[in-house]
Amino acid sequence: MTGLFDAFHFLRPVWLLLLPGIGLLWYLARPRRKQDSPDSQHIAPHLAEALRVGSNTRRRVQPIDSVALCLSLLTLAAAGPTWSRIPNPLIAESAPLVVALKVTPSMEEADLAPSRLDRARFKILDLIATRAGGRTALVAYAGTAHRVAPLTEDPDILRPLLQGLSSEVMPVEGDDAAAALALSMDILGAAETPGAILFVLDDLDPAMVTAFTNDDPAQPPVAMLVAVPAGQIPAQIAGLTGITTVGLTADDRDIAQIERQLISAQQMAQLDDERLDWDDRGWWLLWPAALIALLWFRRGWTMRWGIAIVLVAGLQMPGNAQADGWRDWFLTPDQQGQLAYRNKDFARAAELFNDPMWKGHALLREGRYEEAAELFAELDNAEAAFSEGLARIGNREYRAGARAFETALDRQPDFPAAAKNAEIAWAIVEQVESTREQSDTGEESGIGADDMTFDNEAQRGTVTQVDAPMDEETALSPDQWIDSIDTEMGDFLRSRFLYDNAEGGT
């Protein structure tokens, strides 16, 4: 895998040819030290200094120095330095993460109040909240390892499953971290993008250490969040090389460190993805260039021709790009839109983007599916048709979404994601219409505010509404319903884990 340092290059290296010219200009224009005349050699030095017109001293920093440095920075910016890729908006910005939680009696010790396992649960939920939009899977292990939840962006799915985990639900006692690592790697292997693995544990069986010392570059990065009191990280964990080890803290420092590890893993994975464009970082150099240009307004430093350069540069700037006040001086609307997109301010990003694809993806992430679909429909590439399909599906237009995926396949036959989504969308259409046929009563029923509607182009049944009867005497209150879920979740997980063991799978 390519490293960030090795990935550094210039997108437009031809601009670098200007640097020797700037250096020559600086050399020719910089003032030289005045030489003493032959007659001054016969005069006392203090008298010669008094009789000399002009000073023999010179400034260490001359105006031409700032000009040359400013021009050099602008040239480097125009050359387009880059070392990372622009993330694909179709894929979650956070790298997929598999959390492997150790669920053993030792994790239920109370040296971390209320217990190590409870603190681990809280930290996992905090991490999921921090990674909003990122997919997270959950694995529980003791003597065996089990998949608790697949990769999902919904924290509400993971929360009750986490609460239901305890040492009683694990079918076999022990500490088989190697099995948990293998299972986590299998889950990441099915993901669209490379991700990372986080172990949340209190100790590691010495026999398992060899499983974490693999130097295979294809192995996803592994981090460990150790749920023990401060300063008590076991030696076998602290001695692991190539693995980020983080002690559990009372604040969010541990979560921040893990998040940095995940971001780094995602950036490293994107470097080898040739489908992604390189991220032009040249605009970063505009800030120091602007600060250096301020020196031109110092007394004795003002260069009259500098005003002409500023005026010419201002005339060359596009007049139709209005984005965000002073930011227009340094960033294009699309660059400002990317910043807003990365900050998950999708509504603002949709307003800023000029690029129709990025604008459409911002609308899609904002949940404005109809607007996004209309925008993608105006474009004629396979990626736009695929994105239109996602927007149509989000708007519950399953038939139109399936057709959009098929359009993407017509434009680009080798498009596995479009083929898979088209198959799923047509299956949903078939399921919806078959259900309507089976439940068709021939009655005209109104649609309520909370009812779900689908397209029914084939007219294979009318839309019907079925009110499930509820026995008022036995109906549960919301609090009772939640309590029943928490109580029954442990039984459900234990039964599922026992079934996994009986089937010999996970």
- The pLDDT of residue 230 is 82
Give the other-Cβ count within 10 Å of 279's Cβ. Answer: 17
Task: Identify the bridge partners of residue 244 per DSSP, sorted by sequence position.
Answer: 223
CA-closest candidate to residue 195, choices 208, 211, 184: 184
Q: What is the pLDDT of residues 18-45, one digit of tens each?
A: 999 998 988 888 776 555 555 555 667 7
CATH, domain range 97-270: 3.40.50.410
- The pLDDT of residue 487 is 47
Bridging pattern class, strands 244-247 and 81-82: unpaired
List the helix and strand counts (H, then E) for the chain. Answer: 19, 8
What is the pLDDT averaged over residues 465-493?
A: 50
What is the pLDDT averaged over residues 113-130?
A: 89
Residues 6 or more apart from 95 whose CB is under 8 A from it?
Answer: 134, 193, 194, 195, 196, 262, 263, 265, 266, 269
Q: Is the pLDDT of residue 70 over 50?
A: yes
Least-confidence region, from 228-237, 262-271, 288-297: 262-271
Q: Is the pLDDT of residue 472 over 50?
A: no
Bridging pattern class, strands 196-201 and 97-102: parallel
- The pLDDT of residue 94 is 58
- The pLDDT of residue 301 is 53
Q: Is the pLDDT of residue 442 over 60?
A: no
pLDDT above 70: percentage of residues in the chain: 70
- The CA distance from 17 to 98, in Å, is 48
Q: Is the pLDDT of residue 469 over 80?
A: no
Higher pLDDT, 334 or 104: 104
- The pLDDT of residue 486 is 46
Q: Is the pLDDT of residue 398 over 70?
A: yes
- The CA distance from 72 to 23, in Å, is 9
Least-confidence region, from 54-63, 222-231, 303-312, 346-355: 303-312
- The pLDDT of residue 478 is 40
- The pLDDT of residue 216 is 65
CB < 8 Å & 24+ apart, contacts of 231-236: 234/203, 234/204, 236/203, 236/204, 236/206, 236/209
Intervals of CATH 1.25.40.10 along the chain: 329-439
Q: Are 389 and 408 in contact (CB under 8 A)?
A: yes
CATH, domain range 329-439: 1.25.40.10
Task: Identify the bridge partners of residue 140 per DSSP, sorted by sequence position.
Answer: 101, 146
CA-closest candidate to residue 362, choices 379, 371, 349, 374: 349
- The CA distance from 267 to 94, in Å, is 10
What is the pLDDT averaged over residues 50-66?
A: 63
Higher pLDDT, 89 or 367: 367
DSSP label at 39? G
Q: Is the pLDDT of residue 443 over 80?
A: no
Average confidence score pLDDT of the chain? 76
Write the DSSP string, 54-109.
S-S---SS-HHHHHHHHHHHHHHHHH-EE-SBPPPTTS-SSPPEEEEEE-SGGGG-
What is the pLDDT averaged over residues 220-240?
A: 87
What is the pLDDT averaged over residues 378-398?
A: 88
Q: What is the pLDDT of residues 316-368, one digit of tens each?
A: 444 444 444 555 666 778 888 888 887 778 888 889 898 888 899 889 888 88
Higher pLDDT, 315 or 374: 374
- The pLDDT of residue 329 is 64
Side chain identity at residue 363, one-letter code:
L
Where does the pLDDT of residue 133 fall: very low under 50, low under 70, confident under 90, or very high at 90 and above?
A: low
Higher pLDDT, 95 or 317: 95
- The pLDDT of residue 178 is 93
Q: Is the pLDDT of residue 200 over 90?
A: yes
What is the pLDDT averaged over residues 179-194?
A: 86
Bridging pattern class, strands 81-82 and 9-10: antiparallel
Q: Are 217 and 190 in contact (CB under 8 A)?
A: no
Q: Is the pLDDT of residue 405 over 80?
A: yes
What is the pLDDT averaged over residues 279-291?
A: 86
What is the pLDDT averaged over residues 299-324?
A: 48
Q: Are 353 and 337 in contact (CB under 8 A)?
A: yes
Tokens of 326: 């002073």
